[in-house]
Each structure stands twice: as C-alpha cells, then as structure tokens.
C-alpha cells in the first residue's frame, strides 16, 4: 500500500485515495509530508526546511494520522448512510 501525508493540506492518501481534512495534530510541526510504501517498507519524510529523511518504518505520529484517516472516512460514509 502506498501511504502519503501532506500536512499543509490536512490530507492523507492510501493507495492514491485522498481524504481531507484529517486530524494531523500529532504530526511534528517541522514535517511537510511523508511518503511510504508498505510493500517494501521504504519511504521518506519531507521536512519544511527542504531536508528529507529516509525511513523503513512508520513513525508513531504517522500511524496516528492513518488511523485518523480511517476514522474520518468511516464517519463520512456513516453520514451518507453507507
């Protein structure tokens, strides 16, 4: 699965399916975005100062963001009777 967080947009993507706004309050303030591939356990964090950090696991704040994505999507679907 391809996972992406874009902080300025309050957007989270799972396999290129976006949902926003998503609560990203657990995300460190210096993070611009995160991209991660769960199939290869590789990705990177893009920081606001233009630096990147390669990662091989999701940080806790990113796990929280993806859980918040699932919660937001479920709430939206429930509000639509689905």
Q: What is the mean pLDDT of residues 36-58?
A: 97
Residue pair 39/49 in contact by the 8 Å Cβ criterion: no
- Given this model, what pLDDT does residue 6 score? 98
- Residue 73 to residue 18: CA distance in whole angstroms: 10
- Given this model, what pLDDT does residue 65 score? 97
What residue ranges do the domains of the chain occupy? 2-79
Rg (CA), the chain: 13
pLDDT of residue 5 exceeding 90: yes
Q: Token match 């704040």: residue?
A: 61
- Given this model, what pLDDT does residue 75 score? 92
Q: Is the peptide bond before 46 cis (omega within 30 degrees of 0)?
A: no
Residue 81: pLDDT band with limits 50, 70, 90: confident
pTM of the model: 0.91
Angle at 24 between CA 23 and CA 25, to 5 degrees: 95
Residue pair 21/71 in contact by the 8 Å Cβ criterion: no
């Amino acid at each position: 699965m391809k996972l992406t967080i874009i902080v300025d947009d309050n957007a989270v993507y799972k396999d290129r399916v976006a949902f926003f706004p998503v609560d990203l309050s657990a995300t460190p303030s210096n993070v611009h975005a995160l991209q991660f591939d769960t199939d290869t356990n590789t990705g990177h964090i893009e920081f606001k100062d233009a630096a990147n950090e390669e990662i091989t696991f999701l940080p806790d704040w990113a796990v929280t963001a993806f859980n918040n994505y699932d919660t937001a999507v479920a709430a939206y679907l429930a509000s639509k009777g689905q």
